[in-house]
Amino acid sequence: MNSEMLTFILYFVALMGVALYFYIKDRQRSQEDFFLGGRQMGPWVTALSAQASDMSAWLLMGLPGSILAFGFGQIWIGIGLALGTALNWILCARRLRVFSEKADDSITIPQFLANRFDADTRTLQVICALIFLFAYTIYVASAFVAGTTVFGTLFPSVSTKTAMIVFALLIVCYTLFGGFTAVCWTDFFQGMLMMIALMAVPIVVIATHQELDTSLLSKVYEYTDANGAVVTCDFGGGLFSASWQDVATGLAWGLGYFGMPHIIVRFMSIEKPSQIKKSSAIAIIWVVISLGSACLIAYMGRMLVADELLPQGMQKIVFITMARKYFPPAASGLLLAAIIAASVSTADSQLLVASSSFTSDLYTLFKKNVSEKEAVMVGRIVVVAIAFIAYLIASSKGAGAQAIMNLVENAWGAFGASFGPVIILSLFWREFNYKGAIAGIIAGFVVDLGWLFGGLSASTGVYELLPGFICGAIVAYVVAKITPTQDKERAVFDKARLADANAD
């Protein structure tokens, strides 16, 4: 076993140690403890956990690979994500922390939306929970695929099936044992590792290459993809020469943040509303450094490893290639662990949010008076069940499985279009009501999927999240205006706003 493998393995031994520590420490835990950490998370853990659960392996593989192959236009996605992160923390984080507590101490996003309107029915919770279960199972499957890719790079003698099983067990075990607190703490360390790894590569490249040959940016490459189509890799001009579709798509990505349950649930977990300001600063700095470093890796990679990667269509491993090229094995093992960390930190959060939604929003619909112990146990069973289904999707073969996996890139749009407008309106508009929330979620989801499957994303170049978000917002507003808002709905809003004004 070489030092690269050893470093990689030791990192994940430490990861499991964190999960076991919290399992032993907090055996007698409530639903709020298991699914929300008892609202005891500090500002650093809240910030880095939110960002790590947001940025999956896409940050270290997908984004730099896309920029490497297709140029500066793809950087607008990073710009949109940075803006979305900042606005989400500044506008929504503190309000959601206060509102979720005052709305009958809600521990899931569907529960918060229902309690925000003091609803007498569970229709909204059921709709939200079903969307969660569907989309998050697909998301987790994508994390299994990304993690397996890195395992295969480090351990070429291990079969793909074995690598995927090991990775899946790793995620399930510490999600199962540790719950929200362990997930947040491991995400905190993994967020630090991701940022350091992303910064380290361009710093070392700059130190070892005083001059980079910028003429190589204009070189055009071609490769044949899995469908037999020839793909042209043209870096293009500067940032502001990007098409309007690139700019619109990038900025639309930022809109997705307002409706990402696995991210915004972190806002609900922080110990005090007054700590949100510090968390916001930490999160914004993290995302700017991390996204900026990912873009730099792609830019430098175009001049250093493009000849090696692009003719084979292997742009997604640009970070892996440069880490191995410019770092000794022990260090590169830790850098590669950052990719797994990115996959794990997203998958564990998604498993927990999907599990909490099923337990709190669906299971209790069919069984009343569920004890705290039973709720936690059901939550753990759901974690295993979702992970198992995700494994079957990720490990299956054929066109059907590939079609399912291709949906992953659109799940961000579905979440953002469905929940983004409704979350914003529920926090800022006193007259917003239950019927408007249901209509907005359904409209955003249907328009997003209709735009995608109707071929409009491909033909117009407009990311489906944008029309879905706009339509969801319009429908939610119009329905709320033409249907009566009840006094009890205004009362929840007023109580939360008063608490927000007096919160320390």
CATH number, domain containing residue 250: 1.20.1730.10
CA dihedral of 232, 313, 254, 433, whole degrees rounded to 10: 100
pLDDT tens figures, 405-438? 455 677 888 899 999 999 999 999 999 999 999 9
Among 136-145, 339-348, 384-393, 423-432, which stretch is predicted with the lowest mean pLDDT? Answer: 339-348
**Would 355 be classed as within a structural domain?**
yes
Report the pLDDT value the prediction gives residue 178, as an integer from 0 to 100: 61
> Within 10 Å of residue 2's Cβ, how many Cβ atoms?
11
In a domain, 140, yes or no: yes
What 8-state DSSP symbol labels residue 220?
A: -
Among the residue ranges 76-80, 107-111, 252-256, 404-408, the one predicted with the least confidence is: 404-408
What are the residues facing 270 on neighbouring strands? 41
Is the pLDDT assigned to residue 403 strictly greater than 50?
A: no
Local confidence band at 291 (pLDDT 50, 70, 90 cut-offs): very high
The percentage of the chain sitting over the pLDDT mark of 90, rounded to a whole number, equals 30
pLDDT over 70 (residue 440): yes
Give me the pLDDT at residue 159, please: 84
In a domain, 427, yes or no: no
Reported confidence tier of residue 80, pLDDT bands at 50, 70, 90 = very high
Is pLDDT above 90 for 121? no
Mean per-residue pLDDT, 335-363 = 78
Write the secondary structure of 52-96 as one string of H (helix), E (strand) and C (coil).
HHHCCHHHCCHHHHHHHHHCHHHHHHHHHHHHHHHHHHHHHHHHH
- For residues 476 and 217, the model is more confident at 476
Predicted TM-score (pTM) of this structure:
0.87
The string over 5-23, giving b where at least 16 C-beta atoms fall within 10 Å of a residue's C-beta and e elsewhere, is: eebbeebbeebbebbeebb
Q: Does residue 27 carry a pLDDT above 60?
A: no
pLDDT greater than 80 at residue 237: no
Q: Which two tokens stand for residue 328?
A: 């000794």
- Identify the pLDDT of residue 377: 84
Residue 40 lies in a domain: yes
Residue type, 295: C
Q: Which residues lie below 8 Å from residue 287, measured CB to CB, with a gap of 6+?
A: 51, 55, 81, 82, 85, 86
Stated length of the chain: 504
Return the SS3 of 22: helix
Beta bridge partners of 230: 224
What is the rounded distance in angstroms from the CA atom of residue 228 to the CA atom of residue 44?
47
Q: Residue 309: what pLDDT? A: 92
In a domain, 233, yes or no: yes
Lowest mean pLDDT among 187-196, 251-260, 302-311: 187-196
CA distances from 483 to 116, 289, 477, 480, 486 (A): 17, 45, 10, 5, 9
What is the C-alpha separation between 289 and 194, in angstroms, rounded?
11
Total domains, the chain: 1
DSSP for 281-347, please give it: HHHHHHHHHHHHHHHHHHHHHHHHTHHHHGGGT-GGGHHHHHHHHHS-HHHHHHHHHHHHHHHHHHH
Q: What pLDDT, on the 0 to 100 scale, is given for residue 421?
A: 96
More confident site: 477 or 504: 477
At residue 95, what is the residue type? R
CA-closest candidate to residue 111, choices 88, 91, 129, 92: 129
CB 109, CB 269: distance < 8 Å = no
Q: Is the pLDDT of residue 37 over 90?
A: no
CA distance 236 to 69: 10
Q: Kindly state the helix (H) or strand (E) to which residue 403 belongs, with its residue range.
A: helix 399-406
Quick one: pLDDT at residue 39? 65
Higher pLDDT, 472 or 16: 472
Radius of gyration over alpha carbons of the chain, in Å?
Answer: 22
CB 386 within 8 A of CB 354: yes
Give the C-alpha separation, 503 to 271, whole Å: 12
What's the pLDDT at 439? 97
Please name the residues in contact with 170: beta carbons below 8 A apart, sequence gap of 6 or more: 12, 15, 16, 344
Domain of residue 185: give its range: 3-397
Q: Is residue 423 part of a domain?
A: no
Q: Can you tell me the distance from the alpha carbon of 479 to that of 78, in angstroms, rounded to the nearest whole number?
A: 34
Q: What mean pLDDT, rounded, does the chain reach?
A: 84
- pLDDT-derived band at 401, boundaries 50, 70, 90: very low
Top mean-pLDDT range of 244-248, 304-308, 380-384: 304-308
CB 53 within 8 A of CB 352: no
Token pair belonging to 365: 């619909």
Rounded to whole angstroms, the Cα distance separating 222 from 150 reads 25
Place of tokens 């997203």: 346
Q: H-type helices in 117-260, by residue range? A: 123-154, 160-208, 244-255
Given a contact cutoff of 8 angstroms between Cβ atoms, the answer to whether 59 and 194 are in contact is yes
| Interaxial angle between packed helices 318-326 and 276-304, expressed in degrees from 0 to 180 and rounded to the nearest 10 | 80
| CA distances in angstroms from 212 to 209, 295, 297, 385, listed in the order given | 7, 16, 13, 50
Q: How far is 69 from 301, CA to CA, in rounded Å? A: 10
Q: Which residues contact 10 (CB under 8 A, 6 or more apart)?
A: none
Nearest to 44 by CA among 349, 276, 262, 287: 276
Q: In DSSP terms, which residues pair with 138 in a beta bridge?
A: none
- Burial (0-12, 13-18, 19+ Cβ within 10 Å), 377: middle
DSSP-based three-state secondary structure for 50 = helix
* pLDDT single digits (tens) 87-96: 999 999 999 9
Q: Is residue 417 part of a domain?
A: no
**In this structure, what are the phi and psi dihedrals at residue 398, rounded to the nearest 5 degrees?**
100, 170
Show the 3-state SS of 420-441.
HHHHHHHHHCCCCCHHHHHHHH
Give Cα 47 distance to the centre of its chain. Answer: 13
For residue 192, being part of any structural domain is answered with yes
